[in-house]
Structure 1
Amino acid sequence: MLKATLEQWRMFKAVVEAGGFNQAADQVHKSQSSIHHAVQKLEHALDLTLFINEGRRVTLTEAGELMYRRACYLLEEAHKIESVASSLTSGIETNLRIAADIIFPARMLYHALNKVSQEYPLLRIELMETVLNGANTLLKEGEVDIGISPFPYPNGFSEDLCDIEFIAVAHPDHPLHELNRTLTLDDLKSYRQIVVRDSSTDRKAESGWLGADQRWTVSHARTSVDIISQGLGFAWLPLAIISDELEDGTLKPLPMEQGGVRKAMLHLCFADGDRLGPAARAFIGELRYQSMLLPSADALDTQ
């Protein structure tokens, strides 16, 4: 038999996060006395002192800090259980929210989305393009159901989806190509590098070689392609999104001594598989299939 109820844990959590009983009463729309009574019953049932009174505010005891962390986990799991029940009741979901890192090939993503839309014609799809930590931040905040991210998702499920190959490129007329020899990383330092900004508001990350003395930072890979196509810099760009530019000669691989081709793993991430509906599962299946079709840089002549 449980000694405490979810409601008591909810009141306890509200007091902690509001900083006091009066403040918590305003946030959860209950009387101060009812919240105080719920916390007192919780302390009595557990035989623990959870708070120390400091005027109108309260602070957690050492035991209270431990109980707060466990209470947050308990309430989050209870919310997940209700969400799973809701999805089971409603059957097919009506909305699918996806965060996809911009280095994942757009054509393959669009193909997967189209296949799912054909199978579930009433499905509404929300697609958010992200960079680096952006997808995982949206997952953490509950803004999306599925993420395609360069980083594993620490609070849920992560699966290796595919390797993305990056190629060091510049316009054929860029001064680096005019050196007419194999290049080292030291050769690149004197020229402008174009990098893409992390879209996460949670924490910022930088990826790839960042040794150039001059650097332009942009918010989207397509902007980087446009800048480099005009001869204004160099960058490591995903092979899958510059195949047309490589084919028509707008971009040319830099003849690097080493490191001209780099790889980054993309991960398929979601918080809780039990909460995903049939449309989300169909999208994941198609995404896995499309990821097997990625092009490789092996056949490119980078020298």
Structure 2
Amino acid sequence: MLRISLEQWRMFRAVVEFGGFNQAAIGVHKSQSSIHNAVSKIEDSLGVKLFQIEGRKTVLTPAGQMMLRRANYLLDEAAKIEAVGQTLGEGIEGKLKIAVDEIFPQKLLYTVLDAISIQYPLLQIELVESILTGASELLANKEVDIAISPIALNEGFSEELCQIEFIAVATPTHALHQLNRELTLEDLKSYRQIVVRDSAISRKKDEGWLGANQRWTVSHLRTSVDMISNGFGFAWLPLTSIFNELKSEQLKALPLSHNSKRTTKLHLTFIDGDRLGPAATAFLVLLRAQCSNLPSSPHA
């Protein structure tokens, strides 16, 4: 028989998260005495001191720090068990939330989403378009069920889904094309580059070479394509996003002597496969099948 309940571990963690007993009581809507009693129960049962007072601050003891790591794991696993049970109890999920990096081929994505909607007509699909680390951050924060991201997870499930090829482009009338010779990276430094901003809130980074002296930074890939198509700069863009512009000669590949093409891997990621319902599982199967037809896909 366990001597300490999950609720008591939650109260212990709340004191740490909110920075004190008074703050924890307000944060979790409990009385201060109930918070104190929960922590005292743990300390008495285990024979350890979890907190000590330093000035006006309540801080963890070394033993408390060790117990917090264990408690975090225990509470996270308990939450996962409840989520799995809820999924099993509900059967087919009513909503599927997916974060997708904007460089992923849109036509392929739409094909998969349409097939899933036909198979599960009552399913509500919420699509969040992101850039760089944005999809991974949404997944880590449990705001989406599945993410397609250039970032592989350290925890959870990650598999390489496909590779996206980028090429350096500008309009045919752009000054870089008027040089009428092979270009170097030094040539590019004198011209404006269009850079796509990371959509993540934390750990932001920008997409691109970043060597140009003048840059415009935008929030969406489509904005970058539009700007470059109108002659406002150059950039490395995914081939799948500019197929029509290249075909109509609205955009033209820059004749770089080196690094004219680049590839980025996209990963299929989710935290816990047991928490995914039938519709999410079907989405994964169809997505993998469609990506296997991409020339650069690792499944090809």
| Normalised TM-score (structure 2) | 0.95
Q: Deviations over 1:107-142 (max 9, x none)?
A: 111111001000000000000100001001111111
Partners of 1:170 and 1:231 within 8 A in 2: yes
Report matched runs for 1:14-163 at 5 Å.
14-54=14-54, 57-163=57-163
Q: Deviations over 1:225-244 (max 9, x none)?
A: 11111111110000001001
What letter is aligned with 2:144? V
Q: Distance in 2 between matches of 1:55 and 1:215?
A: 49
What letter is aligned with 1:188? L
Partners of 2:198 and 2:207 within 8 A in 1: no
1:54 CA drift (Å): 4.5
Does 2:211 align with 1:223? no
Cα pair distance change 1:246/1:6, threshold 3 Å: same
Q: Distance in 2 between matches of 1:283 and 1:178?
A: 47
Aligned length: 296
1:295 CA drift (Å): 5.3
Deviates more, 1:26-35 or 1:233-242: 26-35
Does 2:253 align with 1:261? no
Report matched runs for 1:190-205 at 5 Å.
190-205=190-205
Q: Deviations over 1:59-103 (max 9, x none)?
A: 111111121122122111110110000000000001000000000
Instruction: Give the match's secondary structure for 2:100.
Output: strand
Partners of 2:196 and 2:208 within 8 A in 1: no
| Normalised TM-score (structure 1) | 0.94
Instruction: Give the match's secondary structure for 2:153.
Output: coil
Instruction: Give the match's secondary structure for 1:175.
Output: coil
Q: Distance in 2 between matches of 1:220 and 1:30?
A: 44
Residue aligning to 1:171: 171
Residue aligning to 1:300: none
Residue aligning to 2:292: 292
Gap runs ≥5 in structure 2: none
Q: Distance in 2 between matches of 1:81 and 1:42?
A: 23
Q: Distance in 2 between matches of 1:239 and 1:146?
A: 24
Partners of 1:240 and 1:295 within 8 A in 2: no
1:180 CA drift (Å): 1.1
Partners of 2:100 and 2:130 within 8 A in 1: yes
Partners of 1:240 and 1:294 within 8 A in 2: no
What letter is aligned with 2:142? G
Q: Distance in 1 between matches of 2:181 and 2:278?
A: 54
Instruction: Give the match's secondary structure for 1:268.
Output: strand
Q: Distance in 2 between matches of 1:136 and 1:259?
A: 27
1:57 CA drift (Å): 4.3
- Between the two proteins, what is the percent identity of the paired residues? 62
Residue aligning to 1:272: 272
Q: Distance in 2 between matches of 1:118 and 1:98?
A: 17
Q: Distance in 2 between matches of 1:232 and 1:37?
A: 65
Gap runs ≥5 in structure 1: 297-303
Cα pair distance change 1:56/1:188, threshold 3 Å: closer
1:55 CA drift (Å): 6.6
Partners of 1:20 and 1:56 within 8 A in 2: no
Q: Distance in 1 between matches of 2:192 and 2:162?
A: 29
Deviates more, 1:280-289 or 1:130-139: 280-289
Instruction: Give the match's secondary structure for 2:127.
Output: strand
Residue aligning to 1:4: 4
Q: Distance in 2 between matches of 1:55 and 1:230?
A: 62
Q: Distance in 1 between matches of 2:220 and 2:240?
A: 15
Q: Distance in 2 between matches of 1:94 and 1:198?
A: 30
Instruction: Give the match's secondary structure for 1:217.
Output: strand
Q: Deviations over 1:15-72 (max 9, x none)?
A: 1122222222222222222221221110122221101135764211111112112212
Q: Distance in 1 between matches of 2:36 and 2:102?
A: 49
Does 2:244 align with 1:244? yes
Cα pair distance change 1:55/1:215, threshold 3 Å: closer
Partners of 2:208 and 2:235 within 8 A in 1: no
1:293 CA drift (Å): 2.8
Residue aligning to 1:301: none
Partners of 1:97 and 1:145 within 8 A in 2: yes
